[in-house]
Amino acid sequence: MPKKTPSASVPKTTPNPKNDARAGEAPVRRVVLAYSGGLDTSVILKWLQDHYQCEVVTFTADIGQGEELEPARAKALKMGIPPENIFIEDLREEFTRDFVFPMFRANALYEGEYLLGTSIARPLIAKRLIEIARQVKADAISHGATGKGNDQVRFELGAYGLMPGVRIIAPWREWDLLSRDRLLAYADTHGIPVDYKKRKGEAPYSMDANLLHISYEGGVLEDPSKAPSEKMWRLTVSPEKAPARAEHIEITFKAGDPVALNDVPLAPHELLAELNRIGGRHGVGRLDLVENRYVGMKSRGCYETPGGTIMLKAHRAIESLTLDREVAHLKDDLMPRYASLVYNGYWFSPEREALQVLIDHTQKVVNGKVVLKLFKGNVLVTSRTSDDSLFDTRIATFDDDGGAYNQADAGGFIKLNALRMRIAASRGRTPASARAVRPRKSSKA
């Protein structure tokens, strides 16, 4: 075990002498911790060992955060976790195929802008936590989400949806280590190996990264009136520094999912990673947003989602060609509800799964190719083609259509649709907007 070093500023946290006191629950003997190897979860690991006097199993997921994960294994070993209790898994393929792509079939945007990069990763992590808990016969699971954010809700709703009786330990709702200074002091006192050291006067960003995006919160971003530093962004160049020449790319879709880039078939996670690389160099996918958290407060976050921004644009383009009008409009009506379910943590809910069945049914005909132009932060659709296209040139043309469309039919169509308004007008119910009198400006010679 790491050697303890004294620190006068460390808060006192004593082991829980009554591990089984809450609601008459049995003692926690083994807990599975969602472990990143960072400051918070490293402190949590030690805190669980001391406070609950239990065996800890660590689970670290590679979902494309772009970091080497072996240091997490080394840290866990240094803190006394035996090798058989350390789980490090590459989930990039499953994450993209089974979570990101189904969400993008719905064109999901939370509050009209956010591509849900953090939200969509949580149900997969919750799923694996529960699977590992069953495998190792754990009594509980634990996570490092704070008591103010959405992630606590997402992790726990996901876990309860898969294991109704699971016991969840959320240290941020139990301990008194409620600041970075206290966490660092605790880490120093207990000899916890952490890479991060807060420098005097520096307010760091809280970051979350995966294959879909990077999010930034905290620090200067807690003041919505202040712009983020250009140095903050990691995936994208600024549009001003992007290449002066546009780049064209072609995405092939099959049943609503992108399957090839520039005619090269790619696995889902490979395709998304390549779109991130291409979009990033053109400054695509930055977002600065004030959003409404499920727990009730507003928060300001910045996001980089280059590949997702390109995918959404391309997917809507191929849908515009292949989907029936009313089906497309129905999807758009349902999208905000779907996005809220993902944002709020209801991925495993029956209503989200019911919506997914409908959405996936619509995607059977969403096949074809879309060409996009990337230029200084912009994504522009330049062409789309599909064997399942509903676009009929004979009917849509402004030239002679050879009788494919009878323009005289439009008169009756318009009259019937105006019938209720014609009746109301005949009864003197003139719309208020038509009754408004606006003074006209006189023109001087």
Catalytic residues: 40, 122, 151, 206
| Residue the block writes with tokens 């001391």 | 50
Strand order in the sheet with 264-265: 264-265, 257-261, 247-254, 368-375, 378-385
Q: What is the DSSP letter of 114?
A: B
Q: How many CB atoms lie within 10 A of CB 81?
A: 20
CA distance 374 to 274: 14
How far CA 215 is from CA of 191, 281, 326, 335, 391, in Å, comes to 30, 18, 35, 22, 39
CA distance 63 to 269: 9
DSSP alpha helix (H) spans, 260-305: 268-281
- Ramachandran angles phi, psi of 295, nearest 5°: -75, -5
CA distance 212 to 116: 9
Assigned token pair, 258: 């992108």
CA distance 419 to 124: 53
| Residue the block writes with tokens 């009756």 | 412
